[in-house]
Every structure is written in structure tokens, then in C-alpha cells.
Amino acid sequence: MKEQQVRRPHVYELDPLRAITAFCVVAVHAVALTAFLNQTNAGKQIQYSLVVVLHYTREEFIFVTAFALIYVYYGKPFSVKQFWLKRSIGVLLPYCIWSALYVIYYHPGLPPLTFINTTLFDIVTGDASFQLYYILLTLQFYIIFPLFLLFIKRVAQHPWKVLTISFVLEVVVLYADYRWLQQGTLASSGFWKIFTKYQDRIILIYQFYFVLGAYIALYFQQVRAFLLRNGWLIACGFLATIAALWLHYVLQLQVYQQTIAYATSVLQPAMVFFGLAVILFSFWLAARWASHKKSGTHPWGYHIWQELADASFGIYLIHVFFLIAILKRVLPAMPAAWPIPVRVFLTWFMTVASATTVTIFLLHIPILSRLVGRAQPTAKKAVQPTRDERTGKRQQLAEMIPNARQALSGPLLSEKEPGR
């Protein structure tokens, strides 16, 4: 049997997910780094409650990364060499360049040998800047992706079983981590001390979100249809999860007398439930947007979202330069009479606007576009139409869309060509 070689339809839903998640990453950092504006402990606790709900971003990015790669490569000829070469140029190269620039920014005047040693160490550990740990996670996933792809092919027909095991394992691992590593004597020395310091950039800590992204890519049409049919249920579940998360946060601070740093930790079991709820809710919103289009056209505002999605990687890489500059020079100049929420919002907005503008500018310049993950300047893409946008005879549609039995029994992205 020949494997599918036809380019698959563009998944419109991923564009707003990428862009909004990048903006929320900036929001996490802006809200957390402006907490000092509050003079009361209660004010700080309220501001950090926003950090808690914005801490979904790494889970969402992991989900999107796994979804995109499985959607593109599952059931197609796969060259490990070409895959790693493409990712090395698109991700590793800009990661190394920006890591070096952050070392220069944070440690000006280092002797050449010290600069080289510091940069190499920071590239390996993701320590060049506090947001770069995620790029290290992405690179780890690229390294193991050939094996992950083989694993998904073996278990593609058992989504509920695999997802349940993965979810339970994620909760158990984070419970043990939260209970005994982040709080306790286990991490005070030896191996566990090093592990605790760098655990937020170890891929196995987030295994559930990679598996979730892979399965939703395989069963994309079924999942999308389910979300659109049950939007009210998804929305209510999302709101209930936020309420439960905030209640848990209040109990941690007021009843258990835990520190804000511990209560806002991303690596805690409550975040597994919240991360799943946010992913499903955001995917439902994106699916609603993508479904509101006429036959043969793109969704409203598609080209804007596409441009912002293309810029999301660059925004993630460079926004800290602008954020620190705004915190040092602009925020102190804001009138103290302005409400704290206004100053926090302006800090976020100016950071997002600056990082987005510079990234889009770089995206359209030869060579410099590599700094933000593009081998060549972006141009208007000829987006592959979705299945329901295709026109033609009934026979042509039948060749593109799996029948009802296939849709119920296996993934849409079958390794075999439809009808063979």
C-alpha cells in the first residue's frame, strides 16, 4: 500500500491558538513581574491569581506542537535526516542566536572565553533567559519524534485506553513532584536537587499533552464535530475548572499557609485538569471561528491570524527584551495615581505590540527571517482548502472523506489511502 502523499487541508484552528497563547505567555510574565506594584499582601495574592490561570500556556504550546507534527507526518514517508535538518534551521539556530544575545544582554562585558562557556551552558540548560526553557522542550521532542511517531502508529486505534493511562500517570507524577520534590527534603541534595532545578524543561514531565495533541490530530474531524455539538458543556466545564482552581489557590494560601510561589507552581496535579479544560475550551472557540465561513472561502480575519501565528515563535523568543526595558524605563514613569490594573495592562500591551511588530518586520526580510524561525521571508500562502470546501462530483468527495464506519473505528489520518 502506498502512503498518503497529498498535502493535508490547512487546520485553521491552530492559527489563533498559536497567536493567543504567545500573547498569554507575555501576559504571564507581565503580570508576575509587576506584582511589586501592590503594597498589600492581598493585592499581590489577587494579581497572582491571574498568573495561576495564565499558567496553561506551556501545556497549550506542547499540545499544538504535537498536533501539528502528527497531522503533517502521520501516514506519510518520513525522513529522519530531513526532519532534523529542517528543525535545526528553523528552531535550533534561532534558539542559539537569541540565547547568545540574552547572555550579552544580561552579562555585558564578559571575557570571550567566559562568554563562550556561559552561552554553551545556557544553550544546553535553557538558562539564557527565563522563557527559553520551552524551546529546550521543543528540541527534545524533535529528537524523540521519530520514536514518538512509531509509538502513535502502534496505539492509534486505542485512544481512550492510552489517553486514560497517560492522564493518570501525569497526575500521579505531578502529585509526587509537588508533594515531595517542590516541598520537602528530597530535593535538598544530590541528583534530586539538580532534577528539581531543571524539571520544568524535561519532556517526560509533560507527556500527557504530547499524547493528547497526537490523538486529537488523528481524530481531528471527530473531535471537532464533538466540540461544536457540545460547546455549552465545554464552556461550563472550563468555568467550573477555573472556579475549582481558584478555590484551591485560596485554600493553599489561607488555610494551608503555603507561599505564593508554591501555590502558583505550574507543576502541580490541579494544573493537569485545568490544562485539559483550557485546551478543549480554546479549541472549541477556534473551531467555532473556523466553521463560520462560506464555501470556498477562509474564515473571517484568517490572514491576520495567520500572520500572528507565523510571528508567535519570534514573539516568544524576543519579548523579554522589550518587557525588561518597559519595566525599567516606562513603568516607573507612569503616574502612581493610575490604577494598578491599568499599569499592568499597558505593560503587557506595549510588550506584545513591540515584540509583534519587530517579529513581523523580521519575517519579511531575507536572512533575518531565520532569527524568528523562517528559512525565507513569509509570503501569502496558498492554503490547502478543507474537505468541506472542495467541490466536484460525489465520487471525488467520497475519496477524500472516510465513510462512517472508518470515522467510528479508526483515525481520520489512516496510513492507507482512502478506498484502497
403: phi then psi, degrees, rounded to nearest 5: -75, 175
Number of domains, the chain = 1
pLDDT bin (cut points 50, 70, 90) of residue 394 is very low
In a domain, 114, yes or no: yes
Kindly report the number of other CB atoms within 10 A of residue 71's CB atom.
20
**In sequence order, which residues have a C-beta less than 8 Å from that of residue 353 and are 6 or more positions away?**
none
Q: Are 110 and 103 in contact (CB under 8 A)?
A: yes
Kindly report the pTM of this predicted structure.
0.87
For residues 278 and 20, the answer to whether their CB atoms sit within 8 Å is: no
**Does 31 fall in a domain?**
yes
Contact in structure between 119 and 100 (CB atoms under 8 Å): yes
Q: 217 lies in a domain?
A: yes
- The position carrying cell 497526575 is 171
Residue 195 lies in a domain: yes
C-alpha cell at 322: 522589550
CB 342 within 8 A of CB 356: no
Mean pLDDT of the region 408-419: 39
Read off the pLDDT of residues 271-312 as tens digits, 9 standing for 90 and up: 999 999 999 999 999 999 999 876 668 899 999 999 999 999
Decide if pLDDT at 370 tops 60.
yes
Q: Let me know if residue 64 belongs to a domain.
A: yes
pLDDT at 1 (0 to 100): 35
Cα 155–Cα 159–Cα 161 angle in degrees, nearest 5: 90
Average per-residue pLDDT for the chain: 89
Task: Specify if 3 maps to a domain.
Answer: no
Digit-coded pLDDT (tens) for 230-278: 999 999 999 999 999 999 999 999 999 999 999 999 999 999 999 999 9
Residue 77 included in any domain? yes
**Do the domain assignments include residue 416?**
no
- For 19-36, the pLDDT digits (tens) are 999 999 999 999 999 999
**Structural domain containing residue 375:** 14-409
